[in-house]
Amino acid sequence: MDEADRQLLRRSRVRLVSELQVAELWDVLVSRELFTPDMVEDIQHAGSGTRRDQARQLVIDLESRGRQALPVFISCLEDTGQDALASFLRTGRREQALEAIRVPPLVPLELGPLGLKAEKPMMGKRDLSAAVVTPPENLSPVVLGPKELCSAKLRPEVLRPVDSASGGFGVQGRARGDTDLAYVLNADPCGHCLIINNVNFSSDSGLSTRTGSNIDCEKLQRRFCLLHFAVEVKSDLTAKEMLLALEELARRDHSTLDCCVVVILSHGCQASHLQFPGAVYGTDGWPVFIERVVNIFNGTGCPSLGGKPKLFFIQACGGAEQKDRGVEVASTYSEDSAAGHSPEPDATPFQGGPRTADDQPDAVSSLPTPSDILVSYSTFPGFVSWRDTQNGSWYVETLDCILGQWAHTEDLQSLLLRVANAVSERGIYKQIPGCFNFLRKKLFFKT
């Protein structure tokens, strides 16, 4: 969908959710091939299944239905007698087109690779090194091997406790023995771990084979077995099959277990969201929203996991092929050098973006509380996530190594800080993992 249509749809969301008569639309949406019958069924079961929930999900999913999705949707509205909404959207499109003619597009200013310097920022009483724009293009990408990742070069000193009074951020967790504010993981196995590994995509999806993902899958399968999880792997699932697998996991009885882990390895994209950004693709090329994945395990969908940590690890791109060249900083790291390796991005075009203020009042009204949830992303939203065809993805390779070396002494948040620091040091094109953390306590894995 064009960005202009996407923005119009978001500005109109409150009215659409309020007035849209979805029951009359289903057959027309399928007959016009805007949605498949399975997709319509998923929308009908969104949230509590009310008309408003269905309308909201329909408007959100519409953004991923291609360049002609909005005009076809307007025609569907006219076919079902919803002329007021159709006219409202058509008028909005015409006004946008006229505005684009009146205001010529701005030409972006391209800055050279050298010469820009940033002032030294302050963090409490400590100066950070001056930053400069990235080095010239002729430098080759480089990759850290597992030995280097696990070596002392990971600089554990960056995770030392910092006095908050001095303006520091990110205090490392206390010793494992201090359990006054830690989740209890005594069960054995301590929980289920589902790994969805999408490697081969249908030819009409436009998505490439994710060479190297099987290496990621094997590493994480072995690692979470060592962390006392019952691991199950499902490979090459369509979007519908992904949702069915996740719903089946949520329906299980977790009352005797202490935790649950979901890992998704696939291509990804940006998507409209309220709390958790991004989407991952099924092998048929249809997106599954991360927010929907997480909400399958909320208190309503999975009551036996109430109050227990639910962890999601997402190895996928956050959006279009926007490559982060980074900035130069003082570092003790040597340049990565691994000849013959072929980093690839798990990237696809933008499919959405952050919500706007226009849809916020309606959107927030029915959100579940996302307690005891952590979603770890391989990259910052809007940037690519690099995958080496021989060694697997940077994120998973580093995560596996960090868990192997530090999981017996450090809590999950400290481990993910180490992962972010190590991945950020790799190659010319940069990548920075991050997470959305709604855990109430520290989490120490069972080792």
Tell me the catalytic residues. 267, 317
Element (H, E) at 386: strand 386-388
CB 308, CB 372: distance < 8 Å: yes
Q: What is the edge-to-edge ordering of all strands in the sheet holding 268-269?
A: 268-269, 279-281, 287-289
Give the 3-state secondary structure of residue 377: strand
Strand partners, 40: none
CB 21, CB 82: distance < 8 Å: yes
Phi-psi region of 71 (alpha: psi -120 to 50; beta: other; left: phi over 0): alpha
CB 38, CB 241: distance < 8 Å: no
CB 363, CB 227: distance < 8 Å: no
Q: Which amino acid makes up residue 280?
A: V
Tokens of 420: 């972010």
| Helices vs. strands in the chain: H and E counts, helices first | 14, 16
Cα 428 to Cα 139, 183, 381, 417: the distances in Å are 7, 39, 19, 21
